[in-house]
Structures are given as C-alpha cells and as structure tokens.
Amino acid sequence: MTIDERAQVPTARRIVVKVGSSSISGDNAGQIAPLVDALAEAHGRGSQVILVSSGAIATGIPYLSLDGRPTDLATQQAAAAVGQNVLIYRYQDSLDRYEIVAGQVLLTAGDMENPTHRSNAKRAMERLLDLRILPIVNENDTVATHEIRFGDNDRLAALVALLVEADLLVLLSDVDALYTKPPQEPGAERIAHVDWGDELAGVEIGSTGLSGVGTGGALTKVSAARQAAERGTAVILTATTLVSEALRGEAVGTWFAPSPSAVDADVARPAAGQDADAEAAATA
C-alpha cells in the first residue's frame, strides 16, 4: 500500500515515527506516555510501527551531574551509555500498559553505508516487525565518532524509512508544523501541504530548534522529508503533542507529498522481508 492522502494514514502498513531529544527528556520526559499511547493505537490497528528516538545523551546528562550537554566526544559517549539504558526502560515501562514489547536497535552511519551491515539491520527489523515487536532505533552514540555520525536523527529516520520501505514517516519536534519563517517571528504562516518538487521558494527555514538540547531543526527535517518523499514515502512534520492526531490522519502539521513516480513504482516492490533476504544471500 502507498499513501497519497491523509485519510489513508490509519491504514498504513508500515510507519516510522521520529521524536527529538527536547520532546522526551528533562521537563518533557512526561511526554513519553502520550507518545506511547499514539504508537500503541497505531500498532493496535495492525500497522507496523518503528520509533526512531533521540534523547540518550540528554537523558544521561542529569545522571552524570552535568549542567548541560557536553561538548567533548568522550563525555557525550558516557552520557549516551547511561541515558540509552534509562530511555529504553522508560519506553518499555510505558509500553507494558499495552503488552507491547520494544526491541532496541542502535545504528551508526557506517552500518547504513556498508551493504552487509545494512542488509543485516533490515533483516533484523523486518523480523522484529513480523513478531509484532516495536523497534526503537537510535544512533549508537556510545561508539560513534564525529566523522561517522548521522549528524541528526532526522536523517537517520529518513534512512530507516527507506530501509524498511515505510509508507509514512512522521517527524516530531516542539513545533507544530513548517512555517513560512521561524514560527516565533511576526507574520509566520503554517504550511499545510508541500507538493512533490516544491522548492519552498521564499520560505525561511531555520537551522536550529527552539530548545538547546537536540541537534536538529527545521532545516534537517525538511531535508529528511525530501529524502524520504523522493523514494515514495509520505511525510508528516508536526509537534510531539499532536502525534495522535497525525497518526489518525487528521489535518495537523505539514504534509510532504511523495514522488508520484516512486509511488507508481511501489507496486513492484517485493513483499516485506523478501528483498532483505535476497540481499543477505548475495552478500553472505
């Protein structure tokens, strides 16, 4: 199935949802429960759901008695090692309410660039989804270096959506949509729909988010949305507080229409898991 209208969102076969650090850490850690509520609702409808979650470093900061996000790589890695453990516990604790089991998947940019590693990652996630496990994906910040990092989890989410051939990618942040200029500026207007190929001429896209905890912003989200849409995956960009509405197909956030040619070619895609098995066999 492919998606070209919001009304089809509730019937999506496979959905990737990405949430940023600022939405689920610090004072906003309480947003994990309503986020899980929305994911569980989609899961209960029969959709296969993958969560790409930032937040390991931000979650680990208080446990290391730090005043803010560390700037040196070693301390970032230490914070990620502690924070990832706590973060997954919080997700699983909330998922227990729905008797849903999470599976942790940690990736580096090298994993996505190496054909064998990429095939193994895809096969693992396909199997988790077949078993009705909810994969929670994050960058492996404990071992990643500056040279091999994704840069932000918006890019990672787009790559995961392409890897598993998702119908829909939902990019969540602390802003409810894409605007014609930074939303805090006077005269900023919400953009409800971005047609395929729209260059967004005249739109001022900020490079950072509203908080100082994460690493992405509107610029990285638009780039990730275009990357996914180019390969036939529809994208919704909205706020974490609106995730339930987005997954129900309501008119929230900004909709990025997928490439029509990629959507047309979608009917020839192999069934879930078949191409992963074929690639694994070819690289074995």
- CB-CB contact of 252 with 189 (8 Å): no
Nearest to 156 by CA among 52, 263, 55, 14: 52
For residue 175, give both structure tokens. Answer: 């802003």
Type of residue at 128: L
Contact 167, 191 (CB under 8 A): no
Give a yes or no: residue 192 inside a domain.
Answer: yes
Distance CA 14, CA 213 (A): 29
Residue 238 confidence (pLDDT): 96
pLDDT confidence of residue 200: 85
Residue 202 is part of a domain; what is its CATH number?
A: 3.40.1160.10
Question: What is the layout of strands, in order, in the sheet containing 254-256?
Answer: 102-107, 134-139, 48-53, 14-19, 168-173, 234-239, 254-256, 193-194
Establish if 1 belongs to a structural domain: no
18 CB contacts (<8 Å, ≥6 apart)? 51, 52, 53, 54, 153, 154, 156, 157, 169, 170, 171, 172
Return phi, psi of residue 84, to 5°: -65, -40
pLDDT of residue 151: 61
**Residues paired with residue 173 on neighbouring β-strands, in sequence order:** 239
Q: Which residue range(s) make up the domain with 164?
A: 6-283
Is residue 143 domain-resident? Answer: yes
Asked if residue 127 is part of any domain, the answer here is yes
How many domains does the structure of the chain reveal? 1
Look at residue 72 and tell me if it is in a domain. Answer: yes
Predicted confidence pLDDT, tens digits, the chain (284 residues): 455 588 999 999 999 999 999 899 988 999 999 999 999 999 999 999 999 999 999 999 999 999 888 989 899 999 999 999 999 999 999 999 999 999 999 998 888 889 999 999 999 999 999 999 999 999 987 876 654 456 678 999 999 999 999 999 999 998 999 999 888 899 999 999 999 888 887 788 765 544 444 445 788 899 999 999 999 999 999 999 999 999 999 999 999 999 987 766 554 444 444 444 444 433 33
- How far from the centroid of its chain's Cα atoms is residue 89's Cα? 19
Look at residue 176 and tell me if it is in a domain: yes
Q: How many whole angstroms separate alpha carbon 169 and alpha carbon 258?
A: 11
